Amino acid sequence: MKNRWWRKILPAVAVWFYTSRFLTGCGPFGDVVLEEDGLEVPSEEEEDLIVVGFSQIGSESVWRTANSASIQNALSRENGFFLEFNNARQKQENQIKAIRGFISQRVDYIVFSPVTEDGWETVLQEAKDAGIPVILVDRKVVVEDESLYTTWIGSDAEEEGVNAGIWLEEYLAKTGREGESINIVVLQGTPGASIQLGRTTGFESVAEKHSNWRILEQKSADFTNAKGEEVMAQFIRKYQDIDVVISQNDDMTFGALKALEANGITTGVNGDVIVISFDAVREALELVAQGIINVDIECNPEQGEYIAAIIRKLENGEPVEKENIVDEQIFTPENVEQYLDTRTY
Ligand code: GYE
């Protein structure tokens, strides 16, 4: 029989490997990353990096995936950051848990995109007491004491809603329909999310100036493709004469288009129903170019570089603005072609 001596020492090697890893954070074959509360911590060589804990809402949309990628690219090791990325899977309680984890880990900055506006006071106070600056990204919070966060970076949701209304106003005038009665249905995003509330109030502020516009119903489809299809199908069953569909993100629009098509209803420039969408991801811009979606109000997910720049300023002790609004535009069949090649998401 062969002498398999190594079999005898294997358990001892395993014990040595895991104990040394556990006690020192270093493995026998170089540095490894210690896990603490399921969170990564920087190794010794990474100690100079700026540690950022980021709680993302989830991965509900194409926009969200692009937003996550932008933040991961900007807050990379090469750029001097150590990023703790947490996916909250649409739940506020998961975000609060992640933020508490970041606090106990004493990260340098906490960044998060709040799924809804309310309910953040306690955990933000805990971050403040721990002396950790909080940067809000994409969505906003409602808090009495604004010093609970340092700054916010995102889109002007209300302006996006106003832009949708103004576009509709101009389009109806251009097509000679300004005097017609116009029936509108709205697919809304996650209830209580600042972006949903902003887009809604923005559009309503224009709609209320037009006595011939009638908002038949506004219903949440949670920013997802599947729910967009489901809610649009309900609208179709309930209302015979829909003139305009407003969908507060592209994913819901993709779902709604499926439901409309399944019911033999055409959309867009030469169709039965006018479609107004938000986000402007590549696939939606292609549908704008084909005249299937009439207009897409851009919401810019590329917020990573903005966050990195703000953190660098804070590191240098420079002041930062309380609100930082990203640049955005409006895409119609008339202008969209020139942007198609460069759209990466
Ligand atoms: O419009 C949608 C998403 O908060 C701006 O969230 C964001 C929205 C975006 O999932 O697609």
pLDDT tens digits along 197-229: 999 999 999 999 999 999 999 999 999 999 999
∠ Cα 59 65 68 (to 5°): 100
| Per-residue pLDDT at 39 | 65
Integer Cα distance of 100 and 95 in angstroms: 9
Q: How many residues does the chain have?
A: 345
| Per-residue pLDDT at 37 | 55
Q: Of 33-47, 148-162, 309-323, which gets the smallest average pLDDT?
A: 33-47
Q: Is the pLDDT of residue 23 over 80?
A: no
Tell me the CA distances in angstroms from 286 to 70, 152, 275, 296, one per residue in order: 22, 31, 14, 11
| DSSP reduced 3-state for 39 | strand
Tell me the CA distances in angstroms from 105 to 18, 27, 111, one per residue in order: 22, 21, 14
| pLDDT range class, residue 157, cuts 50, 70, 90 | very high
- 60-82 average pLDDT score: 98
| pLDDT range class, residue 21, cuts 50, 70, 90 | very low
Q: What is the DSSP letter of 34?
A: P
- 91-120 average pLDDT score: 98
CA–centroid distance, 155 to ligand 1, in Å, is: 10
- 132-158 average pLDDT score: 98
| Per-residue pLDDT at 15 | 45
Q: Is the pLDDT of residue 125 over 50?
A: yes
| Per-residue pLDDT at 47 | 81
Integer Cα distance of 293 and 279 in angstroms: 12
- 266-279 average pLDDT score: 98
Q: Is the pLDDT of residue 120 over 70?
A: yes
Q: Which two tokens stand for residue 226?
A: 């599947």
Q: Which atom of ligand 1 is nearest to the CA of 195?
A: 4
Q: Which atom of ligand 1 is nearest to the CA of 278?
A: 1
Half-sphere exposure for 38 (CA within 13 Å, toward CB) = 8
Q: Which atom of ligand 1 is nearest to the CA of 190?
A: 6
Q: pLDDT tens across 306-325, in order?
A: 999 999 999 999 999 999 99
Phi-psi domain of 133 (left: phi exceeds 0; alpha: psi -120 through 50; beta: other): beta
What percent of the chain is modeled with pLDDT above 70?
Answer: 89
Q: Give, for 330, the enclosing helix (H) or strand (E).
A: strand 330-331
**Contact 139 CB / ligand 1 (< 6 Å):** yes
**Contact 213 CB / ligand 1 (< 6 Å):** no
Q: Which atom of ligand 1 is nearest to the CA of 279?
A: 1
- 134-161 average pLDDT score: 98
Q: Which of 64, 87, 140, 187 to mutate to test the pocket of ligand 1 (most atoms within 8 A of CB)?
A: 64
Q: Give, for 176, the enclosing helix (H) or strand (E).
A: none
Q: Which of 113, 190, 279, 281 to mutate to test the pocket of ligand 1 (most atoms within 8 A of CB)?
A: 279
| Per-residue pLDDT at 24 | 38
| Per-residue pLDDT at 151 | 98
Q: Average pLDDT over the chain, rounded to whole?
A: 91
| Per-residue pLDDT at 89 | 98
- 147-157 average pLDDT score: 98
**Contact 299 CB / ligand 1 (< 6 Å):** yes
Long-range Cβ contact pairs of 89-98 (< 8 A, separation 24 or more): 89/58, 89/59, 90/57, 90/58, 90/60, 90/115, 90/190, 91/115, 92/116, 92/119, 94/55, 95/55, 95/57, 96/123, 98/53, 98/55
CA–centroid distance, 46 to ligand 1, in Å, is: 33
Residue nearest to atom 10 of ligand 1 (CA): 61
Q: Which of 65, 186, 195 to mutate to test the pocket of ligand 1 (most atoms within 8 A of CB)?
A: 195
Q: What is the DSSP letter of 326?
A: P
Helix 250-262 and helix 62-74: axis angle, to 10°? 160
Residue found by looking up tokens 């038949």 in the block: 216
Q: Is the pLDDT of residue 142 over 50?
A: yes
Q: Which domains does the chain have, with CATH numbers?
A: 5-154+301-327 (3.40.50.2300), 157-299 (3.40.50.2300)
